Each structure stands twice: as C-alpha cells, then as structure tokens.
C-alpha cells in the first residue's frame, strides 16, 4: 500500500542555518510527490511538486526538493532558514485525482 514517512516529528534550526526535511515514500508506480506547509490555524499551501523530468525541483519561498528513486526519497531543503519558516511541513504522494496520502508531518522550530 502507498505510504509516506517523515521520520522527524520535530526539528529545530537556527535562523540562517540550512534545512533538510526528510521524506520517504512507498508507491508502486511513478509517484507524484508534493511538499505542503501549514501555519498554525491555517490550511495547507503547496511549496513544490514533482511528477517527471528534472529530479531537483524548485518551489516557492526558496525551497527545493530532490527526488531520488533509488532511495524512495523526496527531501526538502532550504539553504538559509528565516524565522517565518517556522511551521509544519507535510510530504505527500498523489494516489488518485485530488487524492493525497500525507506523511505525519515535521514541525519546524526556528531559534534566534
């Protein structure tokens, strides 16, 4: 069955430091992968997505992610974190039209 694993429940990063959030997926076919971000009390906003082509995808707010088929991973990165990046981040795989299976999320805390 399809699934998404985000191994880190919480991550604390100093402002200005680099960030990498891990995501592993299990899916039989070519995956359509997404990263969404959720601020407290808000819905989810798409950061970036991968469905084919270049395995390094660029998103909004300076985020990027790399798809590695051999490792079944789709890790999210940012070279320099800002305090406003503090939020919960969700990795997801599309399992149908408008149907996503999400990971449990990683809460990012940014320290001054």
Partner 1 sequence: KAGVTQTPRYLIKTRGQQVTLSCSPISGHRSVSWYQQTPGQGLQFLFEYFSETQRNKGNFPGRFSGRQFSNSRSEMNVSTLELGDSALYLCASSTGAQRNEKLFFGSGTQLSVL
- Residues forming contacts to partner 1 in the complex (CB under 8 A) are 32, 36, 41-46, 49, 51, 90, 92, 94-105
- Closest distance to partner 1 from the beta carbon of 29 (Å): 10
d(CA 102, CA 36): 9
β-bridge pairing 64-68 and 56-58: antiparallel
Q: CA 64, CA 83: separation in Å to the nearest integer?
A: 18
Closest CB to partner 1 among 15 and 95? 95
In angstroms, the CA 51 to CA 41 distance is: 29
Nearer to partner 1, 97 or 112 (CB): 97
Min dist CB 22 to partner 1, Å, is: 16
For partner 1, give the closer residue by CB, 53 or 112.
53
To the nearest whole angstrom, how small is the minimum distance from the Cβ of residue 12 to partner 1?
Answer: 19
State the Cα–Cα distance between residues 60 and 43, nearest whole angstrom: 16
């Amino acid at each position: 069955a399809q699934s998404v694993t985000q191994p880190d429940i919480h991550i604390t990063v100093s402002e200005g430091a680099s960030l990498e959030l891990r995501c592993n997926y299990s899916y039989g076919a070519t995956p359509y992968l997404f990263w969404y971000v959720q601020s407290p009390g808000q819905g989810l906003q798409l950061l970036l997505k991968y469905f084919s082509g270049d395995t390094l995808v660029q998103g909004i707010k300076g985020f990027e992610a790399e798809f590695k088929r051999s490792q079944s991973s789709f890790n999210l990165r940012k070279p320099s974190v800002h305090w406003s990046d503090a939020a919960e981040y969700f990795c997801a795989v599309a399992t149908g039209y408008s149907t996503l299976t999400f990971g449990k999320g990683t809460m990012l805390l940014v320290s001054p």
